Structure 1
Amino acid sequence: MIQFIQKHLTVFQSALFKTTCTVVENDDFLLIVDPNWLPQEIEAIQHHVETVRGKRELYLLFTHGDFDHIIGYRAFPDAKIIGSKGLQHHPKKENTLGQIRKFDNDYYIDRPYPIEFPVCDIVIEDDGQLFTSGNMTLTFYLAPGHSHDGIFTVIEPQGILIAGDYLSDFELPFIYDSAKSYLKTLQTAKEILLRHHIKVLVPGHGKATDQLHEMRTRFESSQKYLDKLISAVMREDAQELDLLAKEMPYPSSFTAECHAENIAIIKKEYITK
C-alpha cells in the first residue's frame, strides 16, 4: 500500500507492523529503502520500480539489519547495496536469517528469491559521510540505540530524512542495543532537523510526515518516554514502570517483551551493583 507520495518520493507501508519501504527517484538512479514484508507487497514495490526506473542504476539502502527490514534484499539482485559498518559486520547474520525462515515457515510463505543477508557495496563508517550522484546528495549519520547498526540518511536537495526505527508516529522506543546510545541518536536527529532543511521524515514504522511541528513532536515524545523510563528504573518504581508499559500501543506479548527488554538494558547501563 502506498501511504505517502510526492514528486520523486513514494513510501509504501506493509500491513505488518506498519513497516515502510521508501523509493526515491533521481536523474541518475533509484534508491529503495528496506523493501518488505509479504511477497505481494514486495511485488508491488518491484512493479513500481520497473515502471519508473528506465535505464537508471538501482541502489538498495538498509537502515539497519533487523529481519523485517532486510527481508526483501534479494528481490532486487542487480542493486548496489548501502549499509552501515555495523550491518556489514553484523555478528548475528545467521540468527537474523533464521528469523526470516521461521516467519515464512510459520505462515506457509514462499518467496521467489533466496533468503540472504545483505552484502554492502557502499559501507557507511562515519557521521557526515556523503554519497553524491548527479544532483542528489545522501548524507549519512550513525544511529545506534535501537540496534547497533542503524543509520539516518538525509537526501538533498529533496530534504528527506530516512529515520529507520526512530521517530515513529505511534511506536515508542524499542531498545535492543543501548539506552545511552538511543538518547545520543535522538540528539543526532534533533541536530539534523536544525542543520538540514528537512521537508519529509520517513520512519521505519508508521506514517511519513511533511510537517516540521510533527517531526519535533515525535522527537520530544521519544525523549520524554525514555527520560521517564530511565528515572523509573533507577528509582525501582514498579508502579510507574507498569504505567509506562501501558503506554505501548497495540498491547501484546511482543510489546510486553520489548518493554521488559528496555528495562533490562537500562538496568545494565544505569544501575551499578
Structure 2
Amino acid sequence: MIQFQNEAVIVYQSALFQTTSTVIQTKEMIILVDPNWLPNEIETIQNYVLSLKGEREIYLLFTHGDFDHIIGYQAFPGAKTIGSLGLHNHPKKDEKLKLIRDFDNENYVIRNYPIVFPELDIVIQEDGQQFHLGETTLTFYLAPGHTADGLMTVVEPLGILIAGDYLSDFELPFIYDSAKAYGDTLDKSSLILEKHNIQLLIPGHGIATWDQNEMKRRVDLAADYLKRLRQSVIANDEAALEALNQEHAFPSSFTEGCHKENVTIMKREYL
C-alpha cells in the first residue's frame, strides 16, 4: 500500500513487517530504495518507476544487506546501484540469498527475476561522502549497529532522510552487529537532523514522518531503550530484561529471538 505520497516522493509499505520501499524523483534521477517484498508489491513499484523514468537513470539505493531489503534487486536491471562498503564486502552473501530462497519456497512464491546479491556501482566508504547529479545531492552516513553495513542517506534539496532500519515509529532496536555502534549511530542521526534541513524521515519499517518533534522522539525512544537494556544487563536484572522484552511491538517468537540477541550482544560488549 501507499503510506505517503507527494509530488516528489512515494513511500510504499509492504504487508510484511511494515517494510518500506521508497521512490524519489528529482529533475535528474529516480532514486529507488530497498524494493520489497512480495512479487505483486514489487511489480507495482516496477510499473510506477517505469512510468516516471523518461530519460532519467534509476539509482537503486540499499540501506543494508538484510534479505528483505535486497529481495527486489534484480527486478530493476540496468539501475545504478548504491550501498556501503560493508554491503559491498558483506561476509554472508550466500546466507542472505538462502534466506530469500527459503522464504519463497516456504510460501510458494514465484519471482520472474533471479535472486542475486547486489553488485554495487557506487560504494560509500565514509561519512559525508556525496554524489552530485545536477541539482540533486546525496549525502551518505555509515550507520552500523543494527547491521555492520548500514547506511543513512540525505537527499537534497528535498530534505529527505532515508534512515534504513533505524528511527521507526514503533520498532525498538534490533541489534545484529553492535550495541555500542547502534548508540553511536543514534548520536549521528541527531547530528544529521541538526545539520540538514530534514523535511521527511523515512524508516525501513514503519511510518514516514515530517514532524520534527516526532523525529527527535524516535531518536530518544531508541536511545532510552538501549540505556535501560544496558543497565539491566550490567545489573543482571532478569525481571527488567523480561519487561524490556515485552515492550516490543507485535510480540512473537521473532521479537523474542531478537531480544535474546540484543541481550547477548550487550553482555559481550559491557560485561
2-structure distance, mates of 1:132, 1:55: 17
Task: With the length of structure 2 as denominator, give the TM-score of the two structures.
Answer: 1.00
Aligned counterpart, 2:36: 36
Gaps of 5+ in 2: none
Correspondence 1:138 to 2:131: no
Aligned counterpart, 1:230: 230
1-structure distance, mates of 2:180, 2:19: 25
Task: Note the alpha carbon deviations across 1:27-80, whole angstroms, 9 max, x for none.
Answer: 111000000000000000001101111111011000000000000000001100
Residue 39 of structure 2 aligns to which amino acid in structure 1? P
2-structure distance, mates of 1:251, 1:29: 40
1-structure distance, mates of 2:82, 2:180: 26
Task: Note the alpha carbon deviations across 1:9-30, whole angstroms, 9 max, x for none.
Answer: 1100000000000101011110
The alignment partner of 1:117 has SS state of coil
The alignment partner of 1:119 has SS state of coil
RMSD of Structure 2 on Structure 1 (CA): 0.4
Residue 243 of structure 1 aligns to which amino acid in structure 2? A
Aligned counterpart, 1:88: 88
2-structure distance, mates of 1:28, 1:196: 21
Aligned counterpart, 1:127: 127
Residue 165 of structure 2 aligns to which amino acid in structure 1? D
1-structure distance, mates of 2:50, 2:143: 31
1-structure distance, mates of 2:80, 2:182: 29
The alignment partner of 2:120 has SS state of coil
2-structure distance, mates of 1:105, 1:270: 40
2-structure distance, mates of 1:222, 1:59: 30
Task: Note the alpha carbon deviations across 1:236-268, whole angstroms, 9 max, x for none.
Answer: 000000100000000000000000000000000
The alignment partner of 2:5 has SS state of strand
Gaps of 5+ in 1: none
1-structure distance, mates of 2:89, 2:221: 32
The alignment partner of 1:123 has SS state of strand
- Would you identify which runs of 4 or more consecutive aligned residues in structure 1 move more than 3 Å? none
Aligned counterpart, 1:2: 2
Q: CA deviation at 1:209?
A: 0.4
Give the share of equivalent positions with the same residue, in percent: 58
